[in-house]
Structure 1
Amino acid sequence: MDKDLLKKAGRMLVCGFDGLEPGEHARTAARELLIGHWILFARNIRDHEQVAELNKWLARETRSNNGSTPFITIDQEGGIVSRLHGDLNTYPGAMALAAAGGPEISGRAARITAEHLHSLGFNVNLAPVADINSNPQNPIVGPRSFGDDPEAVSQHIISTSRGYLEGGILPVVKHFPGHGDTSEDSHKSLPLLPHPAHTLQNRELIPFIQAIEADIPAIMVAHLLVPALSSIDLPASLNADIIQGLLRRTMGFDGLIMTDCLEMQGISLYYDTGEAVLKAVKAGADLCFISHTLEEQEKGVKALYDGIKSGTISESRIDESLQRQQRIMMKNLPGQWEDGISIPGWSGRLPDPEMENLSRKSLTLLKNTNFLPSSGLEDFPGFQILYFVRPEQFIGENTVSGGDPLDRVEKAFPESRFRRIPSDRAEEELRRRPLALQGVEKLLVLTCDTGFYPDAVSFIQEQINGPLPVGVAVMRTPYEAGHFKGADFLLLGYENTRLAADSLVALLKGEITAEGTCPVSIL
């Protein structure tokens, strides 16, 4: 086997593995497959010291075996997509930041996030999200977006990207050409973006156009069918019309182009991993993600190696991407290509006081008709909280450590009655155990993507139309507030995270006021 060719194949892939320490999977990928780049998930992260040691190992092994400095990547968007979980998850997401203020706020948050990630040994963050969330039924973007106004989203994308770079982290703008107006999740299927080209040009593509003009270094391409942009029946991530034709030639982008993970069902239901890697690279991708399975990573390496040997794909095409990787790293992460990744360690405070303040500023009050007094509800008798729990929804490997963050609301009000109801089984649960309202004088409902579940929505509406004062705190997708316009109190929290829960508690105790402005149209 030609080891130099194997190294080149390995440098075209970004791979993940299980475990908090380098086990058999990681060792095989680094030492036998000669993988060039890495992605870590919540499954790989316990605390600062552990993840820093893991990243040191990855950097050392990659330089030793492949002869190059790796991109060590993470999905740390903040908010609902945070691989730094538990006590490490202390960064608001995009929509919460947009609710808190302008692009200077999101840029500052990105700088703080980047400094934290850099201290742990990461050099790439798969953020920010440039999707225009114009579809209220979008199951996968929602509060990960900065909003539904293309110009405002563009300014946040530019500011956030610059903030990451200032903190020593390469940003990756995603999900090209725009995942915001889909009603399907590309983790589970292959969504269709059905709009004509002029609609895409005037909405979906605007943040990417402006980001390219601002010289952002990397873009991730989504698994989407976009007929208006290509007559080829291939997802954008494998499509030369979209990658080379639109993104490279028409839009003039010469930075890194990455695919979303090729193990997502938007690809894996239709293509073998090796086939998908070859199609993506032929189409112009510089890096392909295979985030989970060693067997699929082996297929990816073999497909590239065999493709180069057989002439199915030219070695010059691979060299073009490898040169671009080197150029982007040398330009944006100075010193890393020659000297390797430095890991200074983290000495800051978590949660960061600025992030706490931004989370509080994001809370958006839509209505308060004699429900929440300025003194708060802490000493109010007869106060009951119903929490409609969101079923697990798959977003990559986003897991929560240490229980549900909204449990913090229950702990903050030990004298109130607190009941959890699963949103997807609300009717069954309430039939099994009817709601007891004896002695209740105010009812606060916490929702979390509850709008996707008609039975839960109907029950909440019944309470709103009943005799009790009812408040609703929407703690994830803001669009569901439209179902509850008749409530006496209506609040947007944007995310079911520790920071958002603590901000909600502060509001309910009368310690702060809600000053945010919703960045999407909902009522």
Structure 2
Amino acid sequence: MARRLALVALLAACALPCASSAPAAAGNSLERLIGTRLVVGVDGPTATPALLRRIRSGRVGGVILMGRNVRSAPQVRALTGSLRAAAAEARRPILIVTDQEGGAVRRFRWAPPAASADEMGRLGEAALRRRGRDTARALERLGLDVDLAPVADVPTVEGSFISRQRRGFSTIPMRVAKSVTAFSAGLLDGGIAPALKHFPGLGLATKTTDRVAVAIDADEAALEPGLVPYRRAIAAGVVPLVMVSNASYAAYGARPAAWSPGVLRLLRGLGFRGATITDALEALATTQRMSLAESAIRAARTGVDLLLFVGSERSTERVFDALVAEARAGRLPRAALERSAARIGELTATYAG
């Protein structure tokens, strides 16, 4: 409940761009400003000494737990506890993140929601809020802070991969909007930050961006139904974090959304003032045929706040070095780094730990 009250106050305060963390950010080294943006994977069920050292030195801002990191509830609590302890030594909170959408996309098989999004979309708003609250309570007991859910995509094309994977609440924009808002409110009730995804929408995609480069050629009018869930949830004050899609959108400049200033302007134009996070940058690097470091640099230059990596710990060490080099060369301006650090700081102050 304390987290929920804190978030309500935060979102109200952020009707204008948040700046309360800027003075602290201004005193940070470039290494810390870069480190706070990296959300990295863990190689196994325990944190390696190398990862714990990176956390202690402020070179990691978050960790994502995937299936390879999960054996049992006690094991997960031990893992998150070790991550928290390392962050405490750095005197810098860390975000611990997972994907717990429901149905097939569920890292903790014993935790709710067991139902998929298309099943939950048939429920009323009160019931969906309870599902979100139950999910949050289970995640918080495990030591988590952020759920990369709910999926806000509106599958409006035949063959939609979101529909095939049963990850969409409905094909009706307003029904998706109500479902997303209710589930997000439930997560907040239980002290977990939701992350709506995949902005500005994957409802027109027939293939997953995890495996191929997806280009959506629709005009703005055709993309508008996919924005309805974001408009409603942002207006309701239940959106502390938004995940940006790996697809490309001709209507907003034809670049992958994580590299598109037009997509970020669109999101801010909806009134969103919270933090943003990429989808998995390994997938973007692979499908766009470039290095992982280059995909991260492009997202950072565009202004996406948190850079998400789900692969090996070692691969992200090299990315960190590349981002620091860009910052030292002035290609990642310090003022932009500080703005991202301020938004991330608000998120971690409300949720981490």
Structure 2 equivalent of residue 351 of structure 1: none
Distance 2:191 2:112 in 1: 19
**1:76 aligns with one of 83, 100, 110:** 100
The letter of the residue matching 2:146 is V
* 1:196-228 Cα distance to aligned partner (Å, 9 max, x none): 111112x11111111221221110001011001
- Do residues 159 (structure 1) and 182 (structure 2) align? yes
Distance 2:344 2:113 in 1: 31
Structure 2 equivalent of residue 172 of structure 1: 195
Structure 1 equivalent of residue 12 of structure 2: none
Structure 2 equivalent of residue 58 of structure 1: 83
Larger RCO: Structure 1 or Structure 2 (Cα < 8 Å, ≥ 6 residues apart)? Answer: 2
* 1:4-53 Cα distance to aligned partner (Å, 9 max, x none): 32222111110012211122553354356721211001111111111011
**2:267 aligns with one of 220, 230, 247:** 247
Distance 1:50 1:255 in 2: 32
Distance 1:178 1:267, change over 3 A: farther
Distance 1:25 1:133 in 2: 42
Give me the CA root mean square deviation. Answer: 2.0
Distance 1:183 1:288 in 2: 25
The letter of the residue matching 2:37 is M
More helix by share: 2
Structure of higher CA gyration radius: 1
Structure 1 equivalent of residue 300 of structure 2: 281
Distance 2:340 2:58 in 1: 19
Aligned residues: 325
- Indicate conservation of the 8 Å contact 1:135/1:180, yes or no: yes
Unaligned runs of 5+ in 1: 342-523
Structure 2 equivalent of residue 116 of structure 1: 138
- Do residues 134 (structure 1) and 156 (structure 2) align? yes
Identity %: 29
* 1:364-412 Cα distance to aligned partner (Å, 9 max, x none): xxxxxxxxxxxxxxxxxxxxxxxxxxxxxxxxxxxxxxxxxxxxxxxxx
The letter of the residue matching 1:253 is F
Equivalence map 1:498-513=2 (5 Å): none
- Do residues 234 (structure 1) and 255 (structure 2) align? yes
Structure 1 equivalent of residue 335 of structure 2: 316
Unaligned runs of 5+ in 2: 1-27
Deviates more, 1:24-33 or 1:10-19: 24-33
Equivalence map 1:36-435=2 (5 Å): 36-65=61-90, 67-85=91-109, 87-88=110-111, 91-99=114-122, 101-140=123-162, 142=164, 143-201=166-224, 203-215=225-237, 216-230=239-253, 233-243=254-264, 245-248=265-268, 250-265=269-284, 269-330=288-349, 332-333=350-351, 336=352, 341=353
Distance 1:327 1:214 in 2: 19
Distance 1:284 1:140, change over 3 A: same
Following superposition, the deviation at residue 163 of structure 1 comes to 0.4
Distance 1:189 1:63 in 2: 39
Distance 1:261 1:46 in 2: 23
Structure 1 equivalent of residue 21 of structure 2: none
The letter of the residue matching 1:217 is P
The letter of the residue matching 1:37 is G
